[in-house]
Amino acid sequence: MDKNELKQEVNKRRTFAIISHPDAGKTTITEQMLYFGGVIRSAGTVKAKKSGQFATSDWMEIEKKRGISVTSSVMQFHYRNKDINILDTPGHEDFSEDTYRTLMAVDAAVMVIDSAKGIEPQTKKLFKVVKKRGIPIFTFMNKLDRDGRDPLDLIAELEELLNIEGCAMNWPIGMGKELKGLYDMRNNRLELYRKDGDDRFLPLNDEGKLAEHNPIEDESVYDQALGEVELVKEAGNQFDRDKIMAGNQTPVFFGSALTNFGVETFLNSFLDMAPAPAAHKEQDSDEIVQPDDPEFSAFVFKIQANMNPNHRDRIAFVRICSGEFERGIDVTLQRTGKVLRLNNATEFMSDQRETVKTAVAGDIVGLYDTGNFQIGDTIYTGKKSVQFEDLPQFTPEMFMEVQAKNVMKQKSFHKGMQQLVQEGAVQLYKKYTTNDYILGAVGQLQFEVFQFRMKNEYNCDVVMNPIGSRIARWVDPEQLDQSMSSTRNMLVKDLDDKPLFLFENRFAENWFVSKYPDVKLSSKL
Ligand code: G4P
């Protein structure tokens, strides 16, 4: 591909994540989008998901058992001359670390809100991360087919709870049983509810009035919506592209994912407004890598073992930041300087995985990994070394002692342990003197998933004894004296053999600090 072609291809990419509180409708809206993209033939939503036909994110039985999505999956499709990468994010808060990293790999985010519930706790948490990244955020107020909250309230809540301006792109005409349609300010038209085809759209004249006969019989519902639209136009936040691109204003769309109402309008508007792949900054330098730079570069934001239980494979998900990926290219792994040939890569088309021929900046590809990659790794072609910025890492707060139930299973125990730890969902430590294994995680569910996967994927039952919540603090090995350790501050070492204390609570930490004022403790490596 020459530079012009590359630029054109890159500009077609739209890479985004959908964030929401569980049950707001993320899966349903994703399915509708895949339907528009022709990836699936019908969007039967959750019923199909529950019966196992919709296999994009139910590869782990635990997901079904718990009724939640615990993995980030990637879906790609082509729609209206755009190549779209959607990154799904786990809704459960115990997986926020995975979600945080996933959000580093996208250029925009879609926030789905249940219009009956408004902004829920997990939406708030995820929003904070997106906000920190300064990427555009698009809001879909879902479930209009049910009685929900006043739309004006919902918009006001964005500013009150999330500190972001909401700018309405369309407005509901009625709600729940009274839902009649959407007043679409952006496209200057009405969109009627429960109508298929293009005749559901009615054009509005320059004054924003219906040019034709009004088919909405319930005039009071229609008049109320018109009144609110007037109010929003006059007193609401004015559309500001710069603010949107910086993540300081969010365009708000209303609809109902389940009844496929307003989703297509949302998707089309989103694709018009969402940015093409962004440039990426390098670590510890002011250098910027442009997406249409002909040299290839990418970073690993996720590693997942046993995606397909029949194949026992391990996949490193990479976000391409510049250039073009071709099967068989040689890349340098920045951390080790090692040159690797990338023969085996995969794209993700809903429930089928397709082999990648070419992919460009903005795309996500999965590299089959035999143990070379770590989360946060940069790979590149060309002579100039590239290292992108570090991905966020959480300090674990909960700890468990772990061992194989059956001592004869040490081999699979170690293998499973090593692979699951490399995925980054749990952290592994050893007791300083005995080398007993200790796992650290951000939330309880991660331990459960670990235990479940050890059994299912490595055929190894593990026994876990909770140590409880602890405060992890690394200590300079030069300053360490083993007698400093006690039951209140357990001494362990991390994977790189660096020592750290696990303090029982703040008091234990404060006590330690007053006893050893010269010893430096740090919450990060
Ligand atoms: P999630 O991925 O964000 O967790 O949500 P998901 O799409 O799975 O949707 C959660 C529930 O909300 C599902 O109900 C789904 O059908 C419903 N839902 C999604 N969009 C809409 C909508 O626009 N209107 C209405 N009325 N419902 C919607 P479910 O299958 O009954 O699940 P559950 O209630 O058993 O949890």
Residues 487 and 352 reside in one and the same domain: no
| Residue that is last in its domain, among 273, 289, 322 | 273
ipTM of the complex: 0.96
Q: How much is the pTM?
A: 0.84
Regarding the beta carbon of 23 and ligand 1, being less than 6 Å apart is answered yes
In angstroms and rounded to an integer, the radius of gyration of the C-alpha atoms of the chain is 25
Each residue's pLDDT tens digit, 164-198: 999 999 999 999 999 999 999 999 999 999 877 77
Output the pLDDT for position 98: 78
| Ligand 1 midpoint to CA 370 (Å) | 38
| Ligand 1 midpoint to CA 31 (Å) | 12
Residue 243: enclosing H or E segment and its boundaries?
A: helix 241-245
Angle CA(508)–CA(510)–CA(511) in degrees, nearest 5?
65
Residues 64 and 46 sit within 8 Å (Cβ to Cβ) = no
Three-state secondary structure readout of 300-313:
EEEEEECCCCCCCC
Residues 371 and 499 reside in one and the same domain: no
Closest protein CA for atom 36 of ligand 1: 23
Residues 38 and 145 reside in one and the same domain: yes
| Ligand 1 midpoint to CA 29 (Å) | 9
| Ligand 1 midpoint to CA 19 (Å) | 15
Each residue's pLDDT tens digit, 139-162: 999 999 999 999 999 999 999 999
Residues 153 and 103 reside in one and the same domain: yes
Q: How many helices (H) and strands (E) does the chain have?
A: 13, 31
Highest mean pLDDT pick, 47-56, 70-79, 345-354? 70-79
Q: For the chain, what percent of residues have pLDDT higher than 90?
A: 58
Residues 267 and 296 reside in one and the same domain: no
| Residue predicted with more confidence, 430 or 348 | 430
Regarding the beta carbon of 26 and ligand 1, being less than 6 Å apart is answered yes
| Residue predicted with more confidence, 397 or 60 | 397
Residue 373 belongs to some domain of the structure: yes
Each residue's pLDDT tens digit, 305-338: 766 666 667 889 999 999 999 889 999 999 999 9
| Ligand 1 midpoint to CA 110 (Å) | 17
pLDDT band at 384 (very low <50, low <70, confident <90, very high): very high
Phi, psi of 360 (to 5 degrees): -130, 180
Q: Is the dihedral of CA 14, 19, 25, 27 positive or negative?
A: positive
| 24 CA: nearest ligand 1 atom | 3
Residue 391 belongs to some domain of the structure: no
Residues 60 and 191 reside in one and the same domain: yes
Closest protein CA for atom 33 of ligand 1: 23
Chain centroid to CA 282: how far?
22
- pLDDT (average), residues 353-363: 77
Regarding the beta carbon of 304 and ligand 1, being less than 6 Å apart is answered no
Residues 162 and 221 reside in one and the same domain: yes
pLDDT band at 348 (very low <50, low <70, confident <90, very high): low
Cβ within 8 Å of residue 152, ≥6 positions away: 228, 231, 232
Residue 230 DSSP class: H
Bind-site residues for GTP: 20-27, 88-92, 142-145
CATH code: domain of residue 357: 3.40.50.300
Output the pLDDT for position 41: 62
| 50 CA: nearest ligand 1 atom | 30
pLDDT band at 69 (very low <50, low <70, confident <90, very high): very low
Closest protein CA for atom 11 of ligand 1: 23
Confidence check: pLDDT of 163 > 80: yes
Bind-site residues: 20-27, 88-92, 142-145
Mean pLDDT of the chain: 87
Regarding the beta carbon of 24 and ligand 1, being less than 6 Å apart is answered yes
Distance CA 345, CA 358 (A): 10
Q: Which of 87, 76, 68, 71 is nearest to 21 (CA)?
A: 68
Closest protein CA for atom 24 of ligand 1: 143
CB environment 381-410: b (16+ within 10 A), e (fewer):
beeeebbbeebeeebbebbbebebeeeebe
| Ligand 1 midpoint to CA 46 (Å) | 7
State which residues form the domain around 96.
15-273
Each residue's pLDDT tens digit, 453-510: 899 888 999 999 999 899 999 999 999 999 999 989 999 999 889 999 999 999 999 9
In the chain, % helix, strand, coil (3-state, to 5) comes to: 30, 30, 40
Residue 390 belongs to some domain of the structure: no
Residue 97 belongs to some domain of the structure: yes
| Ligand 1 midpoint to CA 28 (Å) | 7
Distance CA 431, CA 88 (A): 36
User: Could you give the number of structural domains in the chain?
Assistant: 3
| Residue that is last in its domain, among 203, 238, 273 | 273
Distance CA 387, CA 377 (A): 8
Confidence check: pLDDT of 67 > 50: no
Each residue's pLDDT tens digit, 268-310: 999 999 999 999 999 988 899 999 999 999 999 988 876 666 6
Residues 30 and 171 reside in one and the same domain: yes
Confidence check: pLDDT of 47 > 60: no
Residue 388 belongs to some domain of the structure: no
Residue 7 belongs to some domain of the structure: no
State the pairing for strand pair 181-184/189-192.
Answer: antiparallel
Residues 171 and 247 reside in one and the same domain: yes
| 259 CA: nearest ligand 1 atom | 23
Residues 251 and 160 reside in one and the same domain: yes
- pLDDT (average), residues 8-37: 90
Regarding the beta carbon of 143 and ligand 1, being less than 6 Å apart is answered yes
Regarding the beta carbon of 56 and ligand 1, being less than 6 Å apart is answered no
| 22 CA: nearest ligand 1 atom | 4
Residues 312 and 266 reside in one and the same domain: no
| 146 CA: nearest ligand 1 atom | 26
Output the pLDDT for position 42: 60
Each residue's pLDDT tens digit, 92-108: 666 677 788 889 999 99
| Residue that is last in its domain, among 248, 273, 298 | 273
Output the pLDDT for position 51: 41
| Ligand 1 midpoint to CA 207 (Å) | 37
CATH code: domain of residue 429: 3.30.70.3280
Output the pLDDT for position 64: 52
| 21 CA: nearest ligand 1 atom | 3
Highest mean pLDDT pick, 37-51, 77-91, 210-224, 243-257? 243-257
Structure tokens at 139: 């809001």
Residue 1 belongs to some domain of the structure: no
Output the pLDDT for position 57: 39
Regarding the beta carbon of 30 and ligand 1, being less than 6 Å apart is answered no
Output the pLDDT for position 383: 94
Residue 472 belongs to some domain of the structure: yes
Confidence check: pLDDT of 353 > 80: no
Output the pLDDT for position 199: 82
Residues 362 and 426 reside in one and the same domain: no
